Amino acid sequence: MAFLLDRPSLQRLPRFPLSAAAFTTLSSAAAFRHALLAAIASARQRIYLTALYLEQDEAGQEILAALFKAKQANPALDIRITVDWHRAQRGRIGESQDSCNAAWYREECSRHAVELPVYGVPAQTRELFGVLHLKGFVIDNQVIYSGASLNNVYLHKQDKYRFDRYHLLDNAALADSMVSLLCQHFFNDEAVFRLDKPVPSTRSIRKEIRAFRSRLETMHYTLPPEQTCQHGMGVTPVVGLGKGNALNRLILQLIAKAEHQLVICTPYFNFPMAVLRAINRALRRGVEVTIIVGDKTANDFFIPETEPFKLIGALPYLYEMNLRRFAKRRQAQIESGKLNLHLWKEGENSYHLKGMWCDAQHILLTGNNMNPRAFRLDLENALLIHDPEQQLQAQSHAEQQHILQHTTRISHYRQLESVRNYPLKVRTILTRLSRVRIDRMLNLML
């Protein structure tokens, strides 16, 4: 990806031309689910779904049933699903390991007369050290981009939802580029296996996985010169894996580029040091920085005190500790209005938003959590929207206002709970971790 290695200005990045009419923002998880199902039903050529996981629940079953129906109606339709290898072969954190999504894929495929390939991509030999975190559903020439995976809460199939960002881009060149990357680097690699068929053990393919990860670190989206431009409205797809990758550098470039206003969404307040430094420099330049993060009770790992405690339930408190420390050190900038920290909370729903807006000229759509894990371990991607004439300003403003309607601005760091007020079990765990500095290691891994 030479154009990023040389760090040209953001304005000169190659991009696929994009019109304002071809970019649509959806406001809710339910709207996202309806749009995805409608696109699947109307597909004529291809459906490529890429997500961390496709869950065995009501929403996952609805998606899989729609895919089988589309394939049966049109056998020539090219359908492929790509998920993380490790996540597909275990249960959800804290739940029984007796069943897994991969077994469900095999059972469903055995019940139908048509094949529906489901590829398991191992970004690392163990899930703890890296997962497939690419986003983007390509259906014919449309790209549906969100940080969401596919299950009940992400698709608001039942009573609760996990709030994310949702965008539709009608752009054949972008869709081709995203499909090309999958075909070139995943589907025929010796480390990638179809989960709808019997698979080898992870232990038996460790050598292949390590070699595969090395190849992933150098891959990039193809932007043919005849299809791209360097001026005007457009979209640049970016992929990254490992320390110092192209996507990491792009995120830091955006923060460094900001002159007036920078808005950042992240579900887990745990910025890498490089991002923290870039934000500090932006504040010193006089940039108004807004950071929107979920309240600890809106974190997908939060466990109410009325339910049995599990170790994973300490994570939301660890993130709040990070946020309180960050706010305390920047209290003067909070009071001056240069730093705006917003906590999102709406009922018992959870918050999963990622991405950035920079000076109303650049919009970053990504599944990157902007934490040390995303910057070092996981395979991530993003779409950078260039909007030099601010044709999407009204749409961006409406999206931001929709996000902010369920937030509270932190005017003083003491609005955030301190450790001494946490539940006893949480307080005990975090105190012990802090004494031996394991909390710092956890921040790097989670």
Which residues are marked as active site?
133, 164, 352, 380
Which class for 420: exposed (0-12), middle (13-18), buried (19 or more C-beta within 10 A)? exposed
Helix/strand/coil for 379 = strand
**288 φ, ψ (degrees, to nearest 5):** -80, 115
What is each CA distance from 426 to 231, 336, 429, 433, in whole angstroms?
Answer: 52, 34, 5, 11
Strand (E) or helix (H) holding 83: strand 78-84
Which class for 304: exposed (0-12), middle (13-18), buried (19 or more C-beta within 10 A)? exposed
Asked if 165 and 135 count as a contact pair (C-beta separation under 8 A), the reply is: no
DSSP 160-226: --EE--EEEEE-HHHHHHHHHHHHHHTTT-TT-EETTS----TGGGHHHHHHHHHHHTT------GG
Strand (E) or helix (H) holding 383: strand 380-386
Order of strands, sheet of 78-84, starting from the edge strand that comes earlier in the sequence: 23-26, 166-170, 142-146, 136-139, 46-50, 78-84, 118-121, 193-194
Which class for 320: exposed (0-12), middle (13-18), buried (19 or more C-beta within 10 A)? buried
Q: Rounded to an integer, what is the distance from CA 27 to the centroid of its chain?
A: 17
| Number of Cβ atoms within 10 Å of the Cβ of 444 | 14
The answer for residues whose C-beta is within 8 angstroms of residue 356's C-beta and 6 or more apart is: 251, 254, 255, 262, 263, 264, 265, 362, 363, 364
Helix/strand/coil for 409 = strand
CA–CA separation, 228 and 366 (whole Å): 21
Asked if 23 and 385 count as a contact pair (C-beta separation under 8 A), the reply is: yes
Q: Write the DSSP symbol of residue 418.
A: P
Strand (E) or helix (H) holding 144: strand 142-146
End-to-end CA, the chain: 28
Of residues 294, 204, 188, 270, the one with CA closest to residue 443: 270
